[in-house]
């Protein structure tokens, strides 16, 4: 199944200054599914290392249920984010859990 090549299922939780939490958001990434889940964590890591935030809007696509795909749109100012937790279930292990 080429549509599943490189598939990973993410669960993103974002902690904000002051103690608020956003999520968890389920998001799917593969070589053929467009989703900003990897870019979000890479951009936040770069911000923590001193780079200026260049992007504020991220789309996380949850394609785990093909009959009901969901898109989460997040607009974030990294100055107010204290942590991003990315829990990943790799596709090749997902079938072992079922």
Classify residue 61: in a domain, yes or no: yes
Classify residue 98: in a domain, yes or no: no
Evaluate if pTM is beyond 0.85.
Answer: no
Classify residue 66: in a domain, yes or no: yes
d(CA 11, CA 28): 9
Q: What is the pLDDT of residues 60-73, one digit of tens each?
A: 988 777 788 888 99
Q: What is the pLDDT of residues 33-91, one digit of tens each?
A: 677 888 999 999 999 999 999 999 999 988 777 788 888 999 999 999 999 999 987 76
Classify residue 86: in a domain, yes or no: yes
Full residue range of the structural domain in which residue 60 is found: 2-93
Classify residue 63: in a domain, yes or no: yes
How far from chain centre, in Å, is Cα 42? 10
The count of domains in the chain is 1
Classify residue 69: in a domain, yes or no: yes
Beta-sheet pairing, 70-75 with 57-62 = antiparallel
């Amino acid at each position: 199944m080429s549509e599943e090549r490189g598939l990973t299922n993410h669960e993103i939780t974002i902690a904000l200054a002051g103690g608020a939490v956003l999520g968890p958001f389920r998001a799917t990434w593969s070589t053929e599914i467009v989703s900003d889940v990897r870019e979000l964590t890479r951009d936040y890591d770069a911000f923590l290392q001193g780079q200026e935030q260049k992007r504020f809007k991220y789309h996380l696509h949850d394609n785990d249920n093909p009959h009901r795909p969901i898109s989460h749109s997040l607009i974030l100012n990294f100055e107010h984010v204290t942590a991003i937790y990315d829990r990943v279930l790799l596709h090749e292990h997902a079938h072992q859990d079922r």
